Structure 1
C-alpha cells in the first residue's frame, strides 16, 4: 500500500514538473503570459488556436528597453471617447505625459487612465500606455502594443518595453480593443516584448 501511495505521489510530482517546464518564457512575465494563454478558462485564443498553442513569440529580453520616465501629471485633462476595434468607445483621459530617453534619443508618450478601471476594485491606480513603433506590421502587430502601468507615488515611473503586449483582438475578433492614438508613436524599432501572433 505504501508503494502505491509513493508511486502516485511520484507521478503527481513528475506531472507538476512537466507542467512547469512546458511553460516557455525567458522571464517570469513571459511565463505568466504563456500560462494564461494555455489555460482554457482564461485564454483569449480561439479553440483551434488553443489546441495547437505551445507558447507566445517574444523578442529576447533586452535591458536597454527598461527606462525611467519622468511623469508630468495633467490633472485638468478632459475625458474623451477613445475609439476601439468595434463600435464601443472607451472613456479615457490623459493622466500625464511621460518623458524619457531611449537608445540615445528623447521621447514623449501620453499615458491614459480609464474611467471604468477607476471604478473597478484592484484597478483604481491602473494606467494604460498604448504605443506604436517601427516594428508594427513587420515583427509586431500593425496596430501597436500596450504596456500596463500603475500610478507611482512620485514623478518617476519605470517603462519596461519587454512587457509590451498585443491587444486581445489580435487573437480573437470578439474582443474590443482601444486603438493606439497616432501621437503615441516612437520613431524607432522597439525590439522588445511580444511579437505578432500568427493563427495556425
Structure 2
C-alpha cells in the first residue's frame, strides 16, 4: 500500500470514528433527555394521584401538567465536594417561622455560566445513608419564573470526592403548592446571583 492510500485510509478511519462518536453522543443525550422526562412524569403522577400529595382534591382534578424549563445539559454539572471544617447541626428557617435541624455537611463547588459556584449540602439529622444530601437553593429566577421560596434537589454522592448535580431535576417544595405545609428555606450560602433556567417553574394555581 502506497503512502497516498495509507493517508486516505487514515482519513477514512478518522471520519468513521468521528461519525461514530457523534452518533454515540447523540444517543447518550437522547437517553439522558428521556431519563429527565421520566423523573418529571413521576413527579406529576405523585402530585396528581398520591394520597401523600400536598395538593387538595380540587387541585388534583385541575392539574394537567407541571411547567419546566427545556432540558439543558449545561445545567448538569460534576461538583467537587469540600468537607465543612466545623461540621455541626444547624437550624434552618422554615416558611412558617419555625426551624428544622440539619447537619451542615459539605460544599459542592463547580463552574456555571463562567462563575465558580459553592453550595452548601445539608443532611437530615436522621439520615441513615451518609451519601445522601439535601440541597435547597434560590437564584435570580426565584420569585419571578420560579417559586420565591427556592427549589430543591436530592443528591447522592457518586464519586470519591464529587457529586453530580442536575438542575434539570430541581423541584418545588410542598409549600409552593399548598401554604399549609412548612418547608425549609435555602441557607444564605445557597442564594445564587445567577439565573438557573432549568428545572421546575412556579406552580400556577
Common fold by TM > 0.5 = yes
SS of the aligned residue for 1:172 comes to coil
Alignment deviations for residues 56-111 of structure 1 (CA, whole Å, 9 cap, x no partner) = 11111000100100001226412122111125421112110111011222111111
**Alpha-carbon distance in structure 1 between the residues aligned to 2:97 and 2:106:** 26
- Counterpart Cα distance in 1 of 2:137 and 2:130: 22
Instruction: Give TM-score, length-normalised by structure 2.
Output: 0.77
The yes-or-no answer on 1:178 pairing with 2:188 is no
CA distance in 2, matches of 1:157, 1:125: 9
Residue correspondence of structure 1 range 177-196 to structure 2 within 5 A: 177-196=183-202
- The equivalent of 1:132 in structure 2 is 138
Greater Rg over alpha carbons, structure: 2
Are the counterparts in 2 of residues 111 and 127 from structure 1 also a CA contact under 8 Å? yes
Residue of structure 1 equivalent to 2:111: 101
- 1:84 aligns to 2:84 (yes or no): no
Q: Aligned residue for 2:25?
A: none
**With structure 1 as the length reference, what TM-score do the two structures score?**
0.79
Task: Give the match for residue 65 of structure 1.
Answer: 75
Do the aligned partners of residues 76 and 181 (structure 1) sit closer, same or farther apart at CA in structure 2, a change above 3 Å counting? closer
How far apart, CA to CA, are the structure 1 residues paired with 2:107 and 2:164? Answer: 13
- Quote the residue 2:173 is aligned against: 167
Alignment RMSD (CA, Å): 1.8
- Superposed, 1:142-157 pairs within 5 Å as 142-157=148-163
**More helix per residue: 1 or 2?**
2
Question: 1: CA distance between counterparts of 2:186 and 2:159?
Answer: 26
Structure 2 portions without partners, runs of 5+: 1-34
More displaced 10-residue stretch of structure 1: 95-104 or 79-88 = 79-88
- In structure 1, runs of 5+ residues without a counterpart are 1-24
How far off is 1:151 after superposition? Answer: 3.3
Runs of at least 4 residues of structure 1 off by over 6 A?
none
